[in-house]
Structure 1
């Protein structure tokens, strides 16, 4: 191959890579705001996991196999920068219904047979939100690099009480949501049991994690909405990122 032909081949490869990155979201604008979240009053089929974040992709593949047309969601409770060996606590699953709609009994049975549990997240009026294109497997990598630093800076600069971090995959987008109210209602039962055990509370009460109310009966305290400017008296718990679920294909 002549030098000129080789040069043209290299330029073609570079152009293809650049086009792929741009299509994946490299130049997409990330606009973080406080306001209504992208989901409301949802019922999930989920699995709670502890360990390496790399293993979450397996659960997401299960979700897509059982409910291929459903949106997937990840809820991340630990910051990989603050825990050893990328260990973390997270829940991953499918959104079975939203806004009070009934959930299909047959669909629930299929998830239940595969070891999934069920939980509902309440509707909140205020959350830190943004979105990012989800067009290729590399979109998730770009989102980790571009979205999370902006979310963290937005929350830190305004001293907001925002946790945990949610990712919703649907409609060709990754939608991000960090609740500013009723944060405890976004903690799955397994995590609340662990927190009570570590704190030495054997009473079985559904008291909150880091000052947020529990999901038990949606108490009058829990039903109060905070404003977008609510401040945390102490730093909220660590949050997690979804680094690996894109292996095999993200939500």
Structure 2
């Protein structure tokens, strides 16, 4: 009898474990669905979902994976403001250590002006202040921003869709701008006046590259 009771007890325990595992898997699956796992990614071209903005940002050269800490830095200063990321290089064609990006928080939109207190607070922690004009025409997409997992899903699903759309139509659309606003992530790629969305550090790097290329070309000509 004791042997049968022991076997029965083992089966009950195994059954409970299986139920718990099933519940855990269902919870994880539900969390992934809520985060946007099956959300359809629709890419289109047209008027932008945002206007002109003033942002506080930090510029970096290196793997895009390092952007997370910069997002955290901005959020720790003011959690109420929206986050923004501007990515200037294609990580599929540019080595990770040479990728250039700016991460920060949106201080104001449209005709509104950021407060001096906000500006000073961000500058105190090493952020720069810059303004982007309202883009006239963009390639864009959106994705749910409901959990931290949404960011990972968006990166792996939206960017390939943008790449395909831009390549098929032979468009010149850059840089990649991500705006985290309430429960949506907006992906915006300007189709005109892209230089307006280059922060000063990026403009300086581009100027140095052009100068070096011109010097190399002159050297080739003169022998």
Under TM normalisation by the shorter chain, which class is it? 0.7 to 0.9
Q: Report deviation, 1:83.
A: 2.4
Structure 1 partner of 2:182:
171
Structure 2 partner of 1:185:
196
What's the RMSD between the two structures over aligned residues? 1.4
| Inter-partner Cα distance in structure 1 for 2:98 and 2:91 | 7
Using structure 2 for the length normalisation, give the TM-score. 0.86
Structure 2 partner of 1:19:
30
- Judge conservation of contact 2:70–2:103 (CA < 8 Å) in 1: yes
**Larger fraction in helix:** 2
Q: Report deviation, 1:4.
A: 2.6
Q: Max radius of gyration: which structure?
A: 2
- Judge conservation of contact 1:48–1:89 (CA < 8 Å) in 2: yes
Q: Which has the higher contact order (CA 8 A, sep 6+)?
A: 1
1:127 and 2:130 aligned: no
Using structure 1 for the length normalisation, give the TM-score. 0.76
Structure 1 partner of 2:158:
147
Q: Which runs of 4+ in 1 moved over 6 A?
A: none
Which consecutive unaligned segments of at least 5 residues does structure 1 have? 202-251
Structure 2 SS opposite 1:200: helix
Provide closer, same or farther for how the CA distance between residues 16 and 149 of structure 1 changes in structure 2, counting only shifts above 3 A. same
Q: Where in structure 2 are the equivalents of 1:46-195 lying within 5 Å? A: 46-85=57-96, 87-195=98-206
Q: Where in structure 2 are the equivalents of 1:33-48 lying within 5 Å? A: 33-48=44-59
Q: Report deviation, 1:6.
A: 2.6
Total equivalences in the alignment: 201
Match for residue 198 of structure 1 among 209, 213, 216: 209
